[in-house]
Amino acid sequence: MNRLIVNKIIIALSVFSALFGIGVLFWILGTLTIKGIVSINWHIFTHDLVEKGIRNLIIGQFIMGILASFIAIPVGVAAGIYLREYNTNKFGEILRNLSDVMMSAPSIVVGIFVYGLLVDPIGHYNGFAGAIALAIMMLPIVISTTDSMLSLVPKELREAGIALGGSKHKIILQIVLRAAKVGITTGILLAFARIIGETAPLLFTSANNQYLTFDLTHQFPSLTVSIYNLANYPDEASINLAWAASFILTIVVLIINLLGRYITRNKG
């Protein structure tokens, strides 16, 4: 009888916790949607920050995110392949654990690390440092996803490739990776969705630029850093622009996450 009572209490607490969490989430999203939509107009998409627009911020954020992806994806996939296919001893487990630790590292720590590495020696903020910081944050996610997805590929596929006379690298590239490509692609999209909304690393690396520029050797426009700055300005126009930018960024992240789920569900 006591166990039934305890079970009902635990279920009730679980339901309450779930409803409370969902309620807070909808409260945040509702407030963001209401304040963001009313602040959006065509002007903000066609002008730079200096003219109360976010054109340069969106372009700059995606340039750094894409550059970070070009760095992190090949290295992360290669590292994941190495951990799963070539190194299955204790050393591989140590590397895997280190990757997991990197995944949970605070983003501000990554920003300070890259600041000391690529900003302080140069003497000024730059877009390359921002991209490197985002790549470092993206890297462990890609490694972990690749490692996990390759572990789900049946060993019979590898054995079949060996029986047909295939070399190790050809079996990996032509059989194993093809079997795991959907999961790896989803992980990459989720990793990109995470870094595209990061602020802390960019505060210490790329900073911000009020104008549209493609020069990554100097301060570079960033949507997330600008949201942080605009929200602290005293004038209402800047605060409204911060709401609009926040809503747009949320929609972008949501679309990327939904795309990842769509790919997973339609892998056939």
Residue 268 has pLDDT above 60, yes or no: no
Dihedral sign computed on CA atoms, order 206, 211, 217, 223: positive
Q: What pLDDT, on the 0 to 100 scale, is given for residue 110?
A: 92
Which CATH number does the domain housing residue 127 bear?
1.10.3720.10
What would the mean pLDDT of 33-51 be, rounded to a whole number? 89
pLDDT, tens digit (0-9, with 9 covering 90-100), for 70-123? 999 999 999 999 888 887 677 777 888 888 888 888 899 999 999 999 999 999
Q: In terms of domains, do 30 and 154 share one?
A: no
Q: In terms of domains, do 28 and 146 share one?
A: no
Write the Ramachandran bin of 10: left for phi over 0, alpha for psi from -120 to 50, otherwise beta: alpha
Q: In terms of domains, do 80 and 198 share one?
A: yes
Give the DSSP letter of residue 49: G
pLDDT band at 267 (very low <50, low <70, confident <90, very high): low
Q: In terms of domains, do 48 and 34 share one?
A: no
Q: In terms of domains, do 27 and 59 share one?
A: no
Question: What is the rounded CA–CA span in Å between residue 227 and residue 238?
Answer: 9
Show the DSSP H helices in 82-116 as ranges.
Answer: 90-103, 107-114
Q: In terms of domains, do 14 and 91 share one?
A: no
Using an 8 Å Cβ cutoff, are 19 and 27 in contact? no
The encoded tokens of residue 124 equal 């000024």
3-state secondary structure labels for all residues of 138-154: HHHHHHHHHHHHHHCCC
Q: What's the chain's Rg over C-alpha atoms?
A: 22
Q: In terms of domains, do 30 and 59 share one?
A: no
CA distances (Å), 123 to each of 120, 135, 225, in order? Answer: 5, 21, 20
Instruction: Give 168 or 223, the one with higher predicted confidence.
Output: 223
- Residue numbers of the domain that contains 1: 1-38
Q: Domains in the chain: how many in total?
A: 2
Strands (E), the chain: none
Q: In terms of domains, do 18 and 104 share one?
A: no
pLDDT, tens digit (0-9, with 9 covering 90-100), for 136-195? 999 999 999 999 898 888 888 887 888 878 788 888 888 888 888 888 988 898 899 889
**How many H-runs (helices) and E-runs (strands) does the chain carry?**
12, 0
pTM greater than the 0.75 cutoff: yes
